[in-house]
Structure 1
Amino acid sequence: MRKKAVLITFMMLFVLSAILSGCGGGNNSAGNTGNAGNTEAANTAGQNSESEGTKKTKLSGKVTFLTNRTDMIGKEYDEYLKRFNEKYPDIKIEFEGGQTDYNQQLKVRMASGELPDLMFVPDIPNSDLPKYFAELDDMPFSSELTFKDFKSYEGKLYGITTGNASSGIVYNKKAFADAGITEIPKTWDEFLAACEKLKQNGVIPLSSNFKDKWPLGSWVYDLPRLIENNPNFPNEKLNTDTPFTMDNGYGKSLSLLKELADKGYLEKDINSTNWEQSKKDIANGKMAMYYLGNWVINQVIGVGAEADNIGFFPLPYDNSGQTRAGLSPDFFYAVNKDSKNLEATKAFLTWLIEDSGYEDFAGFMSPLEGRESKLPQLAEFQALAVELQEGVADDPEVIQISNKAQIDLPAIAQEFVLAKDPQTVFDKWNKAWAKAKKDLGY
């Protein structure tokens, strides 16, 4: 009986409390009820937000990052870590410097099962990506990513581009002005005329770094597909036994490079070039131009060039007046699927993409769509209304045939430029391609 009485008393107090609460608002009770509801929702949202924030900052663990940017270790990476730890104080980042052959080093570690938590995707078939790397479709910016198909398999994302580069002419503005070049060349004939003026003024018009081979990449990977106005042009080699012809993208592109060499617009001795020295020569005006990706801009500035003295414009590869340039991704981040600190690693990767500013430091365009570059040269480039043609992923079958035929496009460019009869160079490699294609059953 006593328990029943207590219960009745409690219920009466509860009802009285509710009545008094309803009366407290006077004639504005409806408005107060609305405010009370909003306050409750706001409090709930605040609690959820706080919980989410606490979850983020409470992530902990050690993340190892194997990077090829050894020049940033002890410098920019230290500053990155300081900023990152302001948000995630309990995550420790350890930067490991990749050796000269990063790709081979990573493959050795893959074979031994000793992968770091975060790395760049090595040169492996996309079908092997799930064996080693975590899916990244759950990253908060995944819908904004560019070049998602490059490192995906069966609809799953495994690699995220560190940044994107466009091929174009990086040039010394003072060298142009001193040679009497007052406007950016918009046609191939105008480009040749500019080269002649530079040459007459004692300046090497274009630094090709011919001997090093890899700097010829823009001439064999980007320009052929631009000339064809076909992003998939490199993969269409699969449909022919003669992929290299004088009248297609490869022949036309390499003919332009050979014309520059024959006219004396490249280094005086193209067989003895020096990459590091060339950056200094572009910076001080002994050389005027590169045909490379925009990533080289900050490197030239880094060796002494005044930032406002370095410009960037698309190579005018014909006389149509077009402004088209290739857009390609750089290295791709990947996360070890067996990482003991998977969420911490993903948090660091998210921070690298969204907050680090690495793309501006490295001279890249953002890996996220619609982000404006802070690099003045890229702003200048984009102001020219350049049509950026995005590359497409290499067809695995084309890669397989190329490997069997030992096709090395920059090496073919070297042979082509030095040959008295470039057609013989194409004949040799067409034969190798056709044989490899047949042997593999394609």
Structure 2
Amino acid sequence: MKKKSVLLGSVILMGLSTALAGCGGNNNNNNNAASSSKPASAAPAASAAAGTSAAPAGEDTNISGKVTFLTNRTDMIGKEYDEYVKRFNEKYPNIKIEFEASQTDYNQQMKVRMASGELPDLMFIPTIPNSDLPKYFAPLDDLGLNDQITFKDFKSYEGKLYGITSGNSTSGIVYNKKAYAAAGITELPKTWDEFLAACEKLKAKGIIPLASNFKDKWPINNWVYDAPRIIENKADFPNDKLNTDTPFTMDNGYGKSFSLLRELNEKGYLEKDINSTNWEQSKKDVASGKFAAYFLGNWVINQVIGAGAAAEDIGFYPLPTDNSGELRAALSPDFFYAVNKDSKNMDATKAFLKWMLTESGYEDFAGFISPIKGKESALPQLKEFQSTGVVLQEGTPDNAQVIDIQNKAQIDLPAIAQEFVLAKNPESVFDKWNKAWAKARKEVLGQ
């Protein structure tokens, strides 16, 4: 898998690390936001709908102060950040926003600054235990957003909210509409059988139905982290491994998901040689219609457009994993905002944070699904995705003991999926890794 401190008088925000522009993927089912490894996308223009609005009743727009925000979005300096500051100051004219650009590893930089006690007013939460949140960050319950935000419990401790996601991502079929039209696909698949039928039509037209980039391993992450819990219809499914010596079976989420990928390969719906693929070239091939689609996160939409496709020619819909007709998709958070508990500009910082979440339109710029529940995206592809009636399943935090066992057993889920797809006897692959898991589980749990 793959995946900036200069003080500038501008404004703010966060998002995916732009250094990731090539490739990457989650290294578990729910990455801690500050260590997100999803590739950054070339962002579209901010939503025009995200204009300045009058302050809500009772909201003090005369708050004054200076807010320093530490972000990794150096690409927005002098561009979108300036536009955000201008709009924010139309509502809060007495608050000055200063933007601090993180030029190094954000997670590590934050930990160094936490140790020294030199924190900005607004930042993203690094990889620390939730029990440490009160040591550094202020509760955010007084923003009045607790009933509106997604992933409310991810960065909470003892009933208090300390972090709010800056945006969310999901996974699905990012497809070339022209390729689908050329193959005579007039309706988007809602069942697995319909998806296979669409793939067959594409194959018959000489179009590769799905670019897997199998050899690179990380592009199949969605098959191992998202699809299993969607198939089980259980957000906490990955943590169920803690309670068994045989977490990998043919009839649970892992076996069913890996079998779907195996079936696509056996039917010739992936690259002709899945052991010889090229990520950068695949984006051009999906953009041109040589390849019809990806099963990846919504972050890849703008990368395909950046590779030459017209925006109106790229669509996005949920992958149907069974024949029930019910569409589900995994929802994952990105970086989580937090406010320095020792900030001398607490009210100003919280006003800016709330504005960022509810009025900035940053989620549309970054290609995210809004952190606010039920808010419709301004991006055509995400609007198309949401219009299918898909049920978005919020992920749950990874169990620490599951991670310990997984590491001790040297479990690499994407690698196991590769082995499963290519094996003569896929069940034997599971047998091997179940033994490794059971041994490590006994050592970690002492059972």
Where does residue 53 of structure 1 map in the other structure? 61
Q: Are positions 1:441 and 2:442 aligned together?
A: no
Structure 1 residue matching 2:331: 3-state secondary structure:
strand
CA distance in structure 2 between the partners assigned to 1:71 and 1:308 by the alignment: 25
Deviations 1:40-72 (A, max 9, x none): xxxxxxxxx899322x2x2x22403222x3433
The alpha-carbon deviation at position 365 of structure 1 amounts to: 2.0
The amino acid that maps onto 1:134 is A
Measure, in 2, the Cα distance between the counterparts of 1:406 and 1:122. 25
Residue 7 of structure 2: aligned partner = none
Q: Against the structure 1 CA distance between its residues 74 and 145, is the aligned structure 2 distance closer, same or farther, given a 3 Å change threshold?
A: same
**Alignment partners' CA distance in 2, 1:368 and 1:170:** 23
Task: Note the 1:122-271 alignment, pairs <5 A.
Answer: 122-271=126-275
> What do residues 51-105 of structure 1 show as CA deviations (whole Å, max 9, x unaligned)?
9322x2x2x22403222x3433343223223323333454132141454x54445
1:374 to 378, 391, 399: 378
Match of residue 20 from structure 2: none
1:173-218 superposed Cα distances (whole Å, 9 cap, x missing partner):
1010112222212222222222233233332221223344333222
* C-alpha contact (below 8 Å) 2:401/2:444 kept by paired residues: no
1:97-134: CA deviations, max 9, x gaps?
A: 454x5444544554555544433333333223233332
SS in 2 for 1:92: strand
Alignment of 1:11-26 (within 5 A): none
Q: Which moved more, 1:395-404 or 1:350-359?
A: 395-404
> How far, CA to CA, are the matches of 2:214 and 2:110 in structure 1?
28
Q: Look up the match of 2:315.
A: 311
Q: Contact conserved, 1:187 with 1:319, CA < 8 A, in 2?
A: yes
Residue 291 of structure 1 corresponds to 295
Point out the structure with max Rg over C-alpha: 1
Once residues 109 and 277 of structure 2 are traced to their aligned partners in structure 1, the CA distance between those partners, rounded to angstroms, is: 27
| Residues in 1 aligned to 2:60 and 2:97: alpha-carbon distance in whole angstroms | 20
**Most deviating of 218-227 and 300-309:** 300-309
1:39 aligned residue = none
Instruction: Give 2:350's aligned residue.
Output: 346
Per the normalisation by structure 2, the TM-score is: 0.78
Aligned partner of residue 283 in structure 1, secondary structure: helix
Of residues 53, 62, 68, the one that matches 1:63 is 68
Once residues 295 and 237 of structure 2 are traced to their aligned partners in structure 1, the CA distance between those partners, rounded to angstroms, is: 20
Does the Cα contact within 8 Å between 2:61 and 2:91 map onto a contact in 1? no
Count of residues in Structure 1 that have an aligned counterpart in Structure 2: 389
Q: Is the 8 A contact 2:137 2:162 kept in 1?
A: yes
Contact 1:66 1:98 in 2 (8 A): no
User: What is the CA–CA distance in structure 1 between the aligned matches of 2:426 and 2:410, rounded to whole Å?
Assistant: 19
Corresponding residue of 1:82: 86
Letter of the structure 2 residue corresponding to residue 203 of structure 1: I
Distance 1:378 1:318, change over 3 A: same
Distance 1:118 1:285, change over 3 A: farther
Provide the rounded CA distance (Å) in 2 between the counterparts of 1:274 and 1:115: 41
Rounded Cα–Cα distance in structure 1 between residues aligned with 2:298 and 2:191: 20
The one-letter amino acid paired with 1:375 is L
Q: Structure 1 residues 311, 339: closer, same or farther in 2, change over 3 A?
A: same
Conserved 8 A contact 1:325-1:388: yes
Contact 1:254 1:417 in 2 (8 A): yes
Retained in 2: the 8 A contact 1:174–1:309? yes
Residue identity over aligned pairs, in percent, reads 72
CA-atom RMSD, angstroms? 2.7
Contact 2:192 2:322 in 1 (8 A): yes
State whether residues 187 and 318 of structure 1, in contact with CA within 8 Å, keep that contact through their aligned partners in structure 2. yes
For residues 278 and 339 of structure 2, the distance between their equivalents in structure 1, rounded to whole angstroms, comes to: 35
Gap change, CA 1:165 and 1:400, over 3 Å in 2: same
| 1:213-248, Cα deviation, whole Å (9 max, x unpaired) | 333222112211121122221121111111111111
TM-score, structure 1 as length reference: 0.79
Higher relative contact order (CA 8 A, sep 6+): 2
Counterpart AA for 2:394: E
Distance 1:416 1:343, change over 3 A: farther
Instruction: Give the whole-Å Cα distance in 2 for the aligned partners of 1:286 and 1:73.
Output: 36
Distance 1:169 1:340, change over 3 A: same
SS class of match (1:150): coil
Partner of 1:53, secondary structure, is: coil
Q: Is the 8 A contact 1:179 1:197 kept in 2?
A: yes
The letter for the 1-side match of 2:316 is F
Change in 2 beyond 3 A, CA 1:428/1:201: same
Q: Could you give the per-residue CA deviations for residues 138-167 of structure 1, whole angstroms, max 9, x where no partner exists?
A: 223233111101111221212111122232
Match of 2:414 among 407, 410, 414: 410
Aligned partner of 1:34 in structure 2 is none
Separation in 2, partners of 1:419, 1:358:
44
Whether the 8 Å CA contact 1:162–1:367 is kept in 2: the answer is yes
Tell me the residue number matched to 1:334: 338
Contact 2:61 2:92 in 1 (8 A): no
Shift of 1:286: 2.3
CA distance in 1 between counterparts of 2:405 and 2:214 reads 26
Gaps of 5+ in 2: 1-56
Shift of 1:378: 2.5
